Amino acid sequence: MAARVASAVRELVHRPRRLRRCAALRNLVRETHLTPHDFILPLFVSEKIEKQRALESMPGVWQFSLTEIVDEAAQAQDAGLQAILLFGIPKHKDEQASGAYANDGVVQKAVRAIKKKCPELVVITDVCLCEYMSHGHCGVTRIDGDHFHVLNDETVDLLVNTALAHAEAGADMIAPSDMMDGRVGAIRQALDAHGFTETGIISYAAKFASTFYGPFRDAAENPPQFGDRRSYQMDYANAEEALREVGLDINEGADVVMVKPALPYIDILWRVHERFGTPTAVYHVSGEYAIVKAAVEKGILEERAAVLEIMTSLKRAGADIIVTYWAREVIQWLKS
Ligand SMILES: [Zn+2]
């Protein structure tokens, strides 16, 4: 028996380990390469602060004031990043989310200032109402006794106004993250009607109702005051539905489609990339970030190795664009 096994091994034609023998050989056959151009850095700008505020649940992530955000964006660009995704925290919230689409809304002011200093930097704006609504939901709500409804079409009207306000301020791309039906088409139509034919849409096409958004709510100050988001964000058990959602957004005019969160949905990312071939983004979210940070703090994982492996796996699974709080660090690591 032993002799037969040995001869089978002796006669091996294919020995995949030949190509793993040294770093140079491994480099030659490496299939997936990260570059600084793969990444978008999310940034939080708050009207409520004068000085940057560290976020306890997301070590290494801050909210910035309106003055600081310009320098932060400029530094990101100097470091080699070419795109940022802006989230705004307004001074006042109300039941109409009026800060979202006001001419002097926090994101609008930040975009104007950033584009003035960094005209080449691609500025993408999150379009949603939750940060601006006193109740923290992503849309207009109606309460009937014990039940609440998030009203789709009324919400889309406000999202359209928000997208227009961001485009007027100079945003290069609009990123609707609300998951209302039909909002991509409505935003595309309104942008075109107002002459913003060059303003792109990166849609959160398959956004799942996920527990991994937990720490973000601290960053964006948008936790719902009642109920949850499961009537608009997707059930995490559904893949076919995710593909239908992505197909709808592409038909409505999305230039880039996004899957969110990342690692627990890597199968969705792969299927979206394979089926549609449309530029595909993935959002590695706050909870995924916090997990690794906690393990690093405890000495369980090495941060650089863990993050580069995660980012490479996302690209290998079909991500053309990765939104991550590690964007700054990753491009530094790629240089060294
Ligand atoms: Zn929202």
H/E segment holding residue 127: strand 122-127
CA of 178 to the centre of ligand 1 (A): 5
The CA distance from 76 to 83, in Å, is 9
Torsion angles phi and psi, residue 205, rounded to 5: -80, -45
Say how many Å lie between the CA of residue 88 and the centre of ligand 1.
11
pTM for the predicted model, two decimal places: 0.95
pLDDT of res. 6: 80
Q: Could you read off the pLDDT of 179-230 as tens digits, one per residue?
A: 999 999 999 999 999 999 999 999 999 999 999 998 888 788 888 888 888 8
Task: Decide the pairing of beta strands 53-54 and 62-64.
Answer: antiparallel
Residue 166 has pLDDT above 70, yes or no: yes
- Catalytic residue set: 207, 260
Confidence of residue 2 (pLDDT cuts 50, 70, 90): low
**Torsional class of 90: left (φ above 0), alpha (ψ -120 to 50), beta (otherwise):** beta
Full DSSP string of 55-92:
-TTSTT-EEE-HHHHHHHHHHHHHHT--EEEEEEE-S-
pLDDT higher than 60, residue 20? yes
Question: 197 C-alpha to center of ligand 1: Å?
Answer: 25
* Mean pLDDT on 136-160: 92
From the CA of 314, how far away is ligand 1's center (Å)?
Answer: 24
The reported pLDDT for the residue numbered 3 is 58
pLDDT (tens digit, 9 = 90+) per residue, 270-318? Answer: 999 999 999 999 999 999 999 999 999 999 999 999 999 999 999 999 9
Taking the centre of ligand 1 as the mean of its atom positions, its distance from the CA of residue 129, in whole angstroms, is 6
- Long-range CB pairs of 231-236 (<8 Å, 24+ gap) are 231/149, 231/150, 232/138, 232/139, 232/150, 232/178, 232/179, 232/180, 233/179, 233/207, 233/208, 233/209, 234/179, 234/206, 234/207, 234/208, 234/209, 235/208, 235/209, 236/208, 236/209, 236/210, 236/264, 236/265
- Find the mean pLDDT for residues 163-176: 98
pLDDT tens-digit readout, 30-78 = 999 999 999 999 999 999 999 999 998 899 999 999 999 999 999 999 9
Q: 203 - beta bridge partners?
A: 257
Give the mean pLDDT of 170-178. Answer: 97
